[in-house]
Structure 1
Amino acid sequence: MSGLAGIHYFDQRPVAEDDLQRMIASLHHRGPDRSAIWHCGPTGLAHCMLWTTPESLHETLPLVDSGGQLAITADARLDNRTELISALNLIDQPPQTLSDSQLILAAYAKWGDACPAKLIGDFAFVIWDGRRRQLICARDFFGVKPLYYYYGPGIFTFASEIKALLTLPEVPRRLNEARVADYLMERLEEIDKTSTFYQEIYRFPPGQTLVIEGSHCRWQTHFRLDPGAEIRCRSDEEYTAAFLEVFSEAVRCRLRSAYPMASMLSGGLDSSAIVGLARQMVPANGQGRLHTLSAISNEGVHCLETTHTRAVLNQGHVEAHTIRPDQLSQYTAELDETLHHCDDLFDHLIWHVPLSMYLLARRYHLRAVLDGIDGDMVASLSTTHHINYLIRAGRWPTAVREAMGLQTYGYSARNLLYYNSLSHLSPYIPAVLKQIRRKFSSERDLFQEAIAGTIINPDFARNVNVTSRLQQLYENFDTTHCSTLTEATARFFKAPRLTVGIERYGRIAAQQGVEPRHPLLDTRLVQFCLALPWSQKINRGHTKIILRRAMAGRLPESVCWRTGKEHLGPDFFEAWLQLKRDFINEIMAGQLNRISAYVDISAVRAAYRRCLQANQWTEDGFPVWQAVTLTYWLSRHKL
C-alpha cells in the first residue's frame, strides 16, 4: 500500500512544490516509510511508501526513467512479474532488484497506453510522458487500489484519498447532496462506481485508463471478463484439481512480503480456505507462521462463527490473534482516530468487524492482510439465480432438484419454482409494456415504498429524486435480457456492489497502515470460475461446491460443508455505540437540528428514546448512528 498524488496544469503554469508537499503530508498514514515528490513544469507527482513487498524496500517513487522523459507514481502489486520480466526482455537483471513500478514504466515504454491490459494484480498509477506531453492514469479491474480525481478549469489533480485533493485551493469543497441521500437510503451506495460526497470530485472508475493530452481526455477499458469462455473437464475431480491450481496461485502471489503475513479468519468457508492454503505456504517461504485475525464472540456467548473459527485454529500452524466486542474499549483511541479522519460517510456503517481485525493487525505490526472477499460471487452463484436459467432452458427436473436442495438454506422449494417461473417470462415482455405499467403505477406509492424504514426527510428525498436513483440501482442488477447464466454472472461482477465493498475495506485498512489483499479477486481465478459450468458452483443446495471439494481434507468437515451464516456485526456495533454513548448524547442534545433538511428528526429522536429505554442499540441504534455521524461529518468537513 502507498499513497500517491499529483497535479497537472493545462495552462502550463509550474506546479508549486508546497502544493505537492501538502497533498502527500495528508496521506502519511498510507506510507510512513518514505515520501518524495517530483515536478517538472506543469506536472508534479508525489508518493509516500509503505514497505510490504521485498522489492518495495529498495523502491524509489516517483520514478523517472534514464532518459528523463517518463515519470511514474504508483500504488501497485503485480502478480505476473515473471511473465512481464520475460516479455520486457529484462531477464538479465535480478528479479529482486526490479520494483513493480519499474515494470509498469517498462511496460508503458513498450506498449504505450495499452500497457494496463498486460498487468495482473492490484494497481493505481499515473505516468507523465514528456515526449508525447500526455498523462496516463489507470486503475485495476476491481478497484482494489484507490484513486480519486478532480478535473476542473485549467487543472487535473489526483490522489489516493479525497483529503489530499482538498488541500489544493483550486479544488472546490461543495457537498454532493445526492450522495447524502444515498447514505440515508444506504443501499444506494451501490448506485455507481464514481460518485463521492463532493461535487466534482470522483472515484476513478475501475478497469479504465485515462489519457490526457493537452486539454483533451480519452477513456478506454483495459480489461473485460469473457462470459463466452468455457472450461470443460471430464470429471468433478479434474475440475477440482484445475480450480485448486488457480486458487493456490492466487493465494501464493499475495504472500509476497518482506514482513510477516496475516489473514482474516471468520470461520466462513472463504477466509478458512485461504488460511488452509496460506498456512502451508508461508513457512515454506521462510516467513515463519501465518498470523490470523479473528473477531469472535464474548466469553459464554454461543456463536457458530466463533465455533468454526476455533475449529480451523485447532488445526494449528498459525499465530492466532482474536478480538471480542468487550475488548473494543482497549482500542478507543484508534477507533476515535478513524472516526475523525473518515473521508467517506459509508465507512461508519459496517466498519466495526473488519476494522476490529485491522486494529489487531496494527497492534501486532502486520502490514499486509489477506481476506475472503468475495467468495460469494467468485466461487458460487447468486444462491437461487441458476433456477431461473434452468427453467428458461426447459430443464425442469434439474430445477426441481436444485430447489429441493436449497431447502437446507431455509428456502421454500415451492416458492423458488413459482417465482422463478414467473420471472423467466420477463425478457419476453416488450419494453413498451413495462413503461406503460410504470407510468400508471402510483408515483406516491413508489415514493413511499422507496423511503419506508429510512430516516430521510421526505422533501429532501423528492428533491434528489430517490425513486429515479433506485431505478438506476435496480438496472445495475437487471439480468432479464442476459441469454446465459454466465452472462448474468459477468454482469454482477460489473455492478458497483463489489467495488464499493472493496473500497470500504481499503479505506479503513489504510487508516491502520494495513494493505488488504484479496486472493478470491485474482482476475485469473475470477475468469476461471466464470467459465465453469454452473454445476461446479452450486449443486443440490451446496453453494461454492468446487471450493468445498478442493478444501476437503484441508479444513475441518464442519467448516468445509457448513450451511448458513451468523454475523457478529450487531455485537460489535452494540459495543461500539455503548462506548460512544456520551458522543451520541452530545450530538442528539444540541446539534441534530443542523441536518433537519436531510433527515426526519422526529424519527431519529423516537429511535433514540427507544435505545435509551431498552439500554441497548442493536435494534434502533442504526438510524441514530446514521444521523449522528452525518451531523459530525458535515461539521468536521465544514460542509
Structure 2
Amino acid sequence: MSGFIALVNTDGTLIDSSLLEMLTNSLERLGPDKKQVWQEGAIGLGHTLFQTTRESQYEHQPATLDGNAWITGHIRIDGRKDLLGRLGITNKINLDRTPDSQLVLHAYRKWGEQCTENLLGDYAFAIWDKLQNKLFCAKDRFGMRQLYYARIKNNFVVSNSLQCMLSHPAITRRLNDQAIGGFLLFGDHEWLNKSITAFADVNVLRPAHTLTLSDKKLHIKRYWNLPVESTLLRYPNKNSYLEHFYEIFKIAVSDRIRCDDIVISLSGGMDSSAIAATAVELQGSQTSSNAPTAITRVYDEVHPCQERYYSGLAAKKLDISQHVTAADNFPLFSNTIKTSRPIEYGHSGYWLHFEKSIRALGRTVLTGEAGDNLLSYPATQEIFRESSAPVVLLELIKLTKRYAEIPGWGAGIKKKLKTKSLHTRGSDRSPYPYPAWINPDFESKAELQELWAAMWQPRTKQSQAQCRNTLLDKSLVQPGWCTNDLITNSDFAFSDHRDPFLDPRLIEFLSSVPALPWLFKKHILREAFKDKLPNAIINRPKTVLGNLTHSLLRRDMPQCSGSNQEESGRLSNQLGDYIDLNVYPKLSNCLTDPILLYINMRAILLNRWLLDGY
C-alpha cells in the first residue's frame, strides 16, 4: 500500500522540514516506487507510492489541481467513468492517464466535504484546503484503508501507518487500557471500539467517516449508512435476478483489476472461486499475459483440509496457474514479526510467509473474505413480509430438497427453547467463560466486568426484531478488513488486498432481493456460477476450518515444553499490570480443552506482544 502523512501545527508555527522528511522516510517500506513531500507554513504532507493500477504511473502525490487544495492518501476509486459523468468533465479528462487522487480533488472541488457521498472504492486521504484553512480527511465505507490521527498539544498528525505515527516525537507509546482490556476479553479491541488503537495517544477514523480540522476544532461525522430498508426487486422470473446479480458482480470485480498482475486468494470455496471465474472472463485465459494467478494456503497434515483438492478443481477448470503454500511446517509461535496491536493469531510466521508469496506473484490480490458476511441468510420474520406464505412454503420445499437442510423462517422456536434452558441453569449469555486471570486492579480501572456484561446482555425484543439491512450493516462494518498495517517489521510492501464483496453497488442489490431463496446457502452465487465452475464446488457445503490453534499446539507442545517462553516463565515486566501472575495460564494445561485454549491464548499472546517490544 502507499504511505502518507499529514502534519498541521495548529499554533501556526512552521513545519519542521527535517521532521516531515523523517516521517515520510519511515513510509518507504509501504511505498517503494516514489517519495515526495510538500509543505507550506504550518502544513506538511508526505507520500510514498506503491503502484497498483495502470493509472498510478501518473501519480504525483502530494497532488493539487490549482494550488488551493492539496491531497495525500492511499486511494483507489471505483466507477471512474460514472464519477466523471457526475462531475461533468467526461470530455475534459483522459481517464487512462488520470490517477485516482486527481479524481478525488475534482470531487472535492465540486462537492466539498460531501464528495465522499459520490466516491466508491477503497481510500483514506487527507486534503489541505488553503482557501478555507482546514484539513479534511476521509475513510472508505468499510475500512479497507487505514487512517490514524493524533492531537498532542499543537501537533495534529494523520497517517495510514501506526509506526509512522509513533515515530513522531510528540506521540508516546503509552498503552491504551481499553484496547488491552478489549483484546483480553474479546480477542481484538476492534470488536469493542474501532476508534482506538493499542496506544493511548493515537486514534482511528472509523469506516464511512470524515474528519475536519478547522479553527483548531475537530469534527468527525459519518457520511454513509446502508439504508435501513430497501425496496424489494420483483422480477418476473429467476433468470432476471441472476443476470442482474452477475452484471453487478462483474463490475465489482472489473473495477478492482485495473492492473496487469492480479493474484487471487483461492480457497476452493464459492466466494473466491466466483471471483476467479469472473476475473478470468474479464482478463482472458492462460495465454494472456494479464491472466490471473491463484494462490492457495493449505494444511495437509497437522490440520487436514480439502482446500488443495477443491482449489485445484477451480484452477483447472479456469485454466489458470496455481501456487499452493503448505503451512504445516510453520510453528504456532514465531519471533519473526511484530504487530501494531496484540492479535488473536498465533500462526504469525506463516502469515508473513503467505503475504510474501503473494507479493512475489503480483501487487494486487483479490480476496472473498466478506462473502460470508454479505451473503448471510437472515432467518427473520421479514421473510414472510417479503413474500406471501404460499411462495415462502414452496421455496422452503425446493431449498430443503436442494441442500438437504430446512431454512429458518424467523419463528425462533429453537432460540426460545435454548434461552429458557440458559435461564434455568442461571447461565449468562456469553459463548465462553470470563477470563479468570485478569489483574483485579486493572479489571476495575478498565471497567472490564461492565464491558463484558454489556457485550453479552440479553437481547431485547426490539433488538431481536432488527431488519436484515441493520444486521447486514453491522456484519460488514464491524470487522476489521484492513490488515496491511498489522505487521510492522516486514521488509517488503504488502500486495494491495481488494474484496469485490465489499462493493456498495453489490451490497445494495443483494439487500433488495428476497432473502428466500437467494441468500440461503449463497443460493444466488451458486446458481449464477453453476455453468462456470465445477459441480463439486457448486455443491460443496460451507466448510469450517476448525480450531487450528489447538491442532498446532498439540503438535508443537511436546517439542517446546520446558523451553517455550511461556512454559519456562519468561514473562514481560509489564504483564503483571494486566494479568494476575499467580494464575497465569500455561499452554500445557490447554491441550485437552479447546475452549480453555481459546480464552487463555489471549494472555499468552499479550505476553509475547509485550516481549517483542511493540
Whichever residue aligns with residue 548 of structure 1, its letter is R
Report the more deviating stretch, 75-84 or 313-322.
Answer: 313-322
Shift of 1:590: 4.4
Whichever residue aligns with residue 560 of structure 1, its letter is I
In 2, Cα distance between equivalents of 1:475 and 1:40: 52
- Residue number among 252, 255, 272 corresponding to 2:254 in the alignment: 252
SS in 1 for 2:96: helix
Matched, 1:148 2:128: no
Q: Which residue of 1 aligns with 2:74?
A: 75
Q: Map residues 228-627 of structure 1 onto 2, 5 A cutoff.
A: 228-230=229-231, 231-257=233-259, 259-283=260-284, 287-298=289-300, 303-328=305-330, 336-337=335-336, 339-340=337-338, 342-346=339-343, 348-349=345-346, 355-362=352-359, 364-382=360-378, 385-386=379-380, 390=384, 398=392, 405=400, 417-420=412-415, 451-452=433-434, 455-473=437-455, 480-481=462-463, 485-493=467-475, 496=478, 498=479, 500=480, 502-504=481-483, 507-508=486-487, 511=490, 512-538=493-519, 542-567=520-545, 570=548, 574=552, 578=556, 581=560, 585-586=564-565, 588-592=567-571, 594=573, 595-601=575-581, 603-608=583-588, 625-627=601-603
Shift of 1:31: 0.8
In 1, Cα distance between equivalents of 2:546 and 2:476: 29
Report the more deviating stretch, 313-322 or 115-124.
Answer: 313-322
In 2, Cα distance between equivalents of 1:577 and 1:368: 34
In 2, Cα distance between equivalents of 1:88 and 1:510: 44
Residues 212, 218 of structure 2: 8 Å contact kept: yes
In 1, Cα distance between equivalents of 2:443 and 2:500: 39
In 2, Cα distance between equivalents of 1:11 and 1:133: 13
**Cα pair distance change 1:306/1:450, threshold 3 Å:** closer
Q: Residue by residue, what CA displacement relative to the aligned partner does 1:451-510 show, whole Å, maximum 9, x if unpaired?
A: 4366534553344222322344458997834766334334424652x2x2x023663599
C-alpha RMSD over aligned residues? 4.0
In 2, Cα distance between equivalents of 1:278 and 1:392: 33
Shift of 1:170: 1.5
**Cα pair distance change 1:412/1:55, threshold 3 Å:** closer
In 1, Cα distance between equivalents of 2:555 and 2:68: 53
Shift of 1:152: 3.0
Q: Map residues 35-184 of structure 1 onto 2, 5 A cutoff.
A: 35-66=35-66, 68-86=67-85, 87-184=87-184
**Cα pair distance change 1:112/1:300, threshold 3 Å:** closer
Whichever residue aligns with residue 530 of structure 2, its letter is A
Q: Residue by residue, what CA displacement relative to the aligned partner does 1:312-366 show, whole Å, maximum 9, x if unpaired?
A: 122142110111123548x99xx644x23x112126457577655323212x241
Whichever residue aligns with residue 202 of structure 1, its letter is N
In 2, Cα distance between equivalents of 1:625 and 1:524: 39
**Cα pair distance change 1:349/1:523, threshold 3 Å:** farther
SS in 1 for 2:213: strand
Shift of 1:224: 2.0
In 2, Cα distance between equivalents of 1:514 and 1:635: 28
Shift of 1:164: 0.9
**Cα pair distance change 1:197/1:550, threshold 3 Å:** same
Report the more deviating stretch, 508-517 or 212-221.
Answer: 508-517
In 2, Cα distance between equivalents of 1:103 and 1:355: 34
In 2, Cα distance between equivalents of 1:448 and 1:280: 46
**Cα pair distance change 1:458/1:294, threshold 3 Å:** farther
Whichever residue aligns with residue 631 of structure 1, its letter is N
Q: Which has the higher helix share?
A: 1
In 2, Cα distance between equivalents of 1:509 and 1:549: 42
SS in 2 for 1:242: helix
Q: Which residue of 2 aligns with 1:215?
A: 216
**Cα pair distance change 1:60/1:30, threshold 3 Å:** same
In 2, Cα distance between equivalents of 1:181 and 1:208: 25
**Cα pair distance change 1:348/1:451, threshold 3 Å:** same
Q: Residue by residue, what CA displacement relative to the aligned partner does 1:552-591 show, whole Å, maximum 9, x if unpaired?
A: 1111112112223131771797289949959972354343
Q: Which residue of 2 aligns with 1:629?
A: 605
Shift of 1:42: 0.9
In 1, Cα distance between equivalents of 2:458 and 2:99: 38
**Cα pair distance change 1:3/1:575, threshold 3 Å:** farther
| Normalised TM-score (structure 2) | 0.86
Shift of 1:546: 0.7
Whichever residue aligns with residue 293 of structure 1, its letter is I
Aligned residues: 602
| Normalised TM-score (structure 1) | 0.83
**Cα pair distance change 1:273/1:255, threshold 3 Å:** same
In 1, Cα distance between equivalents of 2:237 and 2:261: 38
Identity %: 22
**Cα pair distance change 1:264/1:510, threshold 3 Å:** farther
Whichever residue aligns with residue 19 of structure 2, its letter is D
Report the more deviating stretch, 580-589 or 24-33.
Answer: 580-589
SS in 1 for 2:60: coil
Q: Residue by residue, what CA displacement relative to the aligned partner does 1:574-626 show, whole Å, maximum 9, x if unpaired?
A: 28994995997235434326313322445544433565xx9xx9887656653
SS in 1 for 2:167: coil
Whichever residue aligns with residue 345 of structure 1, its letter is P
Shift of 1:149: 0.6
SS in 1 for 2:471: helix
**Cα pair distance change 1:352/1:467, threshold 3 Å:** farther
SS in 2 for 1:521: coil
Shift of 1:390: 4.7
Residues 147, 160 of structure 1: 8 Å contact kept: yes
Q: Residue by residue, what CA displacement relative to the aligned partner does 1:518-549 show, whole Å, maximum 9, x if unpaired?
A: 111011111111111111433xxx42111111
